[in-house]
Structure 1
Amino acid sequence: MRGSIEKRGVYKWRLRVDLGIQTDNKRNRPSVTIEIDDPSLMKMSEKCTGYKDASRGLRDYLDDQLSDFKRRVLSGEYIQVDKMTFKEFVENEWKPKYASHEDNLAPLTYDTYCSHLENHIYPAFESKYLSEIKTLHIVTFVNNLSKPGARKDGRGKTLAAGTIQYIYRVLKNVLTRATEWQLIPSNPVTGVKKPKVEQKEVEFYDEVEAKEVIAALYLEPRYWRLLILGAIIGGCRRGELVGLEWSDVDFENMTVSIKKSISQTKKSKAIEKGPKSKSSKRIIEMPDWYMNELDIHLREWELQRKKAIVAGEWIGNERTYVFHAGRGKPLHHNSPTGWWAKFVKRHNLKRIRLHDLRHSSATLLIEAGASMKAIQKRLGHSKYQTTANIYAHVTKKVSRDTAEKFDKFAPRPQSVPNPSPSSKSAPN
């Protein structure tokens, strides 16, 4: 394998190796440019016009660099950035070396990222060389996302602001890795403003509405009642409830421990992972009345398992999911959402999302006088500010209601009689 060394600047030198003619009849000549940063070698580089008239010390250094470059090319370590397209980087580098690792992206997040890449980002960037993507390309791309026709699911003409911001985040993540791995000098997304999303006030049930919902739940099977109450009373996420096992339930101390979550199903198999964040691992104290009914559910659950084992239908093995699908298999993560929508319609209740029951839990606690710090811990938010921001409007309402309790002490306006004509002073 032949190699060559060519001066490209005062301190810059290009190293090239010749791998011969490839299957596409094109000559494969990968190259890399290095920059001299050793003060003594920099002086030598200043004084020569090329490799031939370079000093012995500089030639030895360049020869060593060329030998190392040849080794990297032959071993497959070298990546020819100027010939690498955006899609090649994503598929060959970003996915296997970063995105597919659960420490970096949760499985559900990974699938969402891949979906946005396929539907929105690849059509704009897949054939572009990684090194050619500039900030203006990103500006144009983000601007086009807000135009009619950008949505691919057929449910509307335009993308929601939150979706546009998510797509921006995916693209930034990919190009940040390319920057960190020194494949490009800087991230072109850095100069593009993050798309704005107006923070919507969360929906929730107040105390009166929550009592109506709970009353309606007592007309439903205990199985579903306890699951939904786990969101209203415990502030649990859907995936946390689906992943709950009896080993996480402490009847003596009246608590439920959140240790894992199931928010994804692939090929009929539940994907189990840790909670959303480190702080999401938590112990939640539950009311006695809830734990008492959960104890009844346990006895019904054990009887159901025995019958399934005798019939040869138990597929849960040693796992003990509290809300399993009938034979020990975890409940499908979307099932609670579907049941909840039908339940609300069936009882003519105010329509809110299943996840909003978690917001309702926090709201009820705020109205009862609980501190924001206690609510943060119960919900498993990693930052106090997150809790404070989400429920700011609720605390303002509670503060207003508290102040209005003093309205009854407001002084009544006293009527002041008009002076009679005779009492008026006569003009001079």
Structure 2
Amino acid sequence: MAKGSIEKRGKNSWRLTVELGYDAQGEREFERKTIRIEDPELLRAPRRLKNYLDDELVKFKMEIESGHYIRPEKLTFSKFIEKWTAKFVELELEEKTKISYKFHTERRILPYFKDMHMEKIKTLHITDYLDYLRTPEASLNKSGKPLGSATIVYNYRVLRSIFAKALEWRVLKENPMTGIKKPREDDIKEMEVYDEEEIELLFAALQDEPSHLRILVTLAVTTGMRRAELSGLEWKNIDLVNGTIDIKQTVPLFKDGQPVIKGPKNKQSKRQIALASSVVDELKLYRSEWVKMKLQLGDKWAGNDREFIFCRTNGIPCDPGLLTKRWIAFHRKHGLKPIRLHDLRHTSISWMIYKKVHSKAIAKRAGHTDTKMLEIYGHIFESVDKAAANVFDDMVKPAKRKA
């Protein structure tokens, strides 16, 4: 292994030097790298500090000898993205976020900054890129329809992650994202819900539908469960005696044909939801049908010991996308107002507000972190506003007119 040395350069910085031999002119070649240590406990422990620096020198030598070391001043954006993807995206992000980060990076960010050297990317380059995202060229399709503000904001988030890691890994001394404000989301589609009449039409349309579809829509409306929570729901999570559902897992997506099973979104999302007695009755009927279906499959059952209540004919759980497709086909068939499957969750919360359920109880049932989330449901049903106006009838007395 090549020779190396460690030299103290400042109060908490050291320079690592590795000898590379001699060049064509007979001159000795070196590769150097400066590291800074911010940990005060490590700085106060000489033996630990020496061991740490020795380890860093060995790593530095191995990077050089394997050909993986690239001087920061020679590191292109594309090369850094390879490292960022391998060391951060693949190792630290959840599967769904990982897919989104890689998609937006490969779709527009990488082609735009590809051959630029990392230290030459400045704040102005970032602002130019965000301006580019608002042009027809950035849409990358024939229609030339401008990107939505949500896509632009997501690109901003990914860039912020990229350059934050570049700063953390000492590739850059300054972060070019500093001072750049998050783009405005001015075209966000307002949530839609079903009002009282539309809810009545919804449940009337469900009467002659297959039981699995009735249960899907009924649970979405009456429990406010998220789509991934519905996909991950198993019979073991449902207590038909006490009428409750325990939200303990989700299936946010499939990878390589298999469900990705993970815990709820946050601590509040792991919760127990009480069921209306009418919903329990529906679930009992569906349970009987579901068990018959499983028994008929016999050896063809591929779900092993898992029993997802929304599953394909072989026992594999339905992915969230399939649940959405079933919902879209249903509301189109019956001419119902076209809203997203997730908007049935919003309908559930709005209905509870309409029925004057306490805000803390609503937040707990919906799996929100606090009641502030409920502020976004200010539109609710028109009848709620009318009811609010009617409370003033007793206050305002008609004026007595003189004859």
Could you say whether these structures have the same fold, taking a TM-score greater than 0.5 normalized by the shorter chain as the test? Answer: yes
Match for residue 377 of structure 2 among 386, 391, 397: 391
Give 2:31's aligned residue: 30
Alpha-carbon deviation of 1:327?
Answer: 1.6
The C-alpha deviation readout for 1:161-214, integer Å capped at 9, x for no partner, is 011001100111122122223332232212111001135532101122112101
Give 1:404's aligned residue: 390
Cα 1:136/1:21, change in 2 over 3 Å: farther
Q: What secondary structure sits across from 1:31 in the alignment?
A: strand
Greater mean deviation of Cα atoms: 214-223 or 258-267: 258-267
Q: What secondary structure sits across from 2:357 in the alignment?
A: coil
Match for residue 369 of structure 1 among 341, 356, 363: 356
Greater mean deviation of Cα atoms: 375-384 or 117-126: 375-384
Give 1:351's aligned residue: 338
Contact persistence 1:150–1:157 (CA under 8 A) = no
How many Å separate the matches in 2 of 1:282 and 1:213? Answer: 27
Contact persistence 1:178–1:184 (CA under 8 A) = yes
Match for residue 223 of structure 1 among 190, 212, 215: 212
Match for residue 366 of structure 2 among 374, 379, 404: 379
How many Å separate the matches in 2 of 1:214 and 1:36? Answer: 64
How many Å separate the matches in 2 of 1:255 and 1:197? Answer: 38
Alpha-carbon deviation of 1:321?
Answer: 0.5
How many Å separate the matches in 2 of 1:20 and 1:216? Answer: 80
Q: What secondary structure sits across from 1:279 in the alignment?
A: coil
The alignment status of 1:235 with 2:232, answered yes or no, reads no
Letter in 1 for 2:268: S
Match for residue 205 of structure 1 among 194, 205, 213: 194
Match for residue 169 of structure 1 among 154, 157, 165: 157
Matches within 5 A, 1:316-331: 316-331=303-318
The alignment status of 1:283 with 2:272, answered yes or no, reads yes
Alpha-carbon deviation of 1:371?
Answer: 2.1
Give 2:88's aligned residue: 98
How many Å separate the matches in 2 of 1:271 and 1:252? Answer: 30
Contact persistence 1:239–1:333 (CA under 8 A) = yes
Larger radius of gyration: 1
Give 1:267's aligned residue: 256
Greater mean deviation of Cα atoms: 238-247 or 179-188: 179-188
Alpha-carbon deviation of 1:251?
Answer: 1.3
Give 1:53's aligned residue: none
Give 1:108's aligned residue: 96
Give 2:137's aligned residue: 149
Letter in 1 for 2:20: L
Letter in 1 for 2:213: W
Cα 1:145/1:416, change in 2 over 3 Å: same
Contact persistence 1:223–1:297 (CA under 8 A) = yes
Cα 1:109/1:71, change in 2 over 3 Å: closer
How many Å separate the matches in 2 of 1:359 and 1:308? Answer: 37
Matches within 5 A, 1:82-97: 82-92=73-83, 94-97=84-87
Letter in 2 for 1:229: T
Greater mean deviation of Cα atoms: 391-400 or 369-378: 391-400
Greater mean deviation of Cα atoms: 139-148 or 127-136: 127-136
What are the ranges of 5 or more consecutive residues in structure 2 without an aligned counterpart? Answer: 39-50
Cα 1:307/1:406, change in 2 over 3 Å: same
How many Å separate the matches in 1 of 2:239 and 2:356? Answer: 26
How many Å separate the matches in 1 of 2:163 and 2:387? Answer: 49
How many Å separate the matches in 2 of 1:321 and 1:7? Answer: 60
Contact persistence 1:259–1:274 (CA under 8 A) = yes
Letter in 2 for 1:218: Q
Cα 1:384/1:132, change in 2 over 3 Å: farther
Q: What secondary structure sits across from 2:273 in the alignment?
A: strand
Contact persistence 1:366–1:395 (CA under 8 A) = no
Alpha-carbon deviation of 1:409?
Answer: 6.2
How many Å separate the matches in 2 of 1:233 and 1:21? Answer: 75
Give 1:424's aligned residue: none
Contact persistence 1:325–1:332 (CA under 8 A) = no
Cα 1:130/1:21, change in 2 over 3 Å: farther
The alignment status of 1:188 with 2:176, answered yes or no, reads yes
The C-alpha deviation readout for 1:385-419, integer Å capped at 9, x for no partner, is 2232x2133399835631334337643344434xx
Q: How many residues align?
A: 382
How many Å separate the matches in 2 of 1:86 and 1:66? Answer: 28
Alpha-carbon deviation of 1:5?
Answer: 10
Alpha-carbon deviation of 1:350?
Answer: 1.1
How many Å separate the matches in 2 of 1:341 and 1:201? Answer: 19
Give 2:58's aligned residue: 71
How many Å separate the matches in 2 of 1:65 and 1:363? Answer: 57
Q: TM-score, normalised on structure 2?
A: 0.84
Contact persistence 1:3–1:66 (CA under 8 A) = no
Cα 1:193/1:300, change in 2 over 3 Å: same
The C-alpha deviation readout for 1:208-247, integer Å capped at 9, x for no partner, is 2112101111121111110111111110111111110011
Q: Percent identity?
A: 38
Cα 1:413/1:316, change in 2 over 3 Å: same
Cα 1:392/1:406, change in 2 over 3 Å: same
Cα 1:105/1:292, change in 2 over 3 Å: same
How many Å separate the matches in 2 of 1:28 and 1:399? Answer: 78
Q: CA RMSD in A?
A: 3.4
How many Å separate the matches in 2 of 1:32 and 1:74? Answer: 11
Greater mean deviation of Cα atoms: 391-400 or 249-258: 391-400
Q: What secondary structure sits across from 2:253 in the alignment?
A: strand
Contact persistence 2:193–2:347 (CA under 8 A) = yes
Cα 1:4/1:393, change in 2 over 3 Å: same
Give 1:333's aligned residue: 320
Give 1:54's aligned residue: none
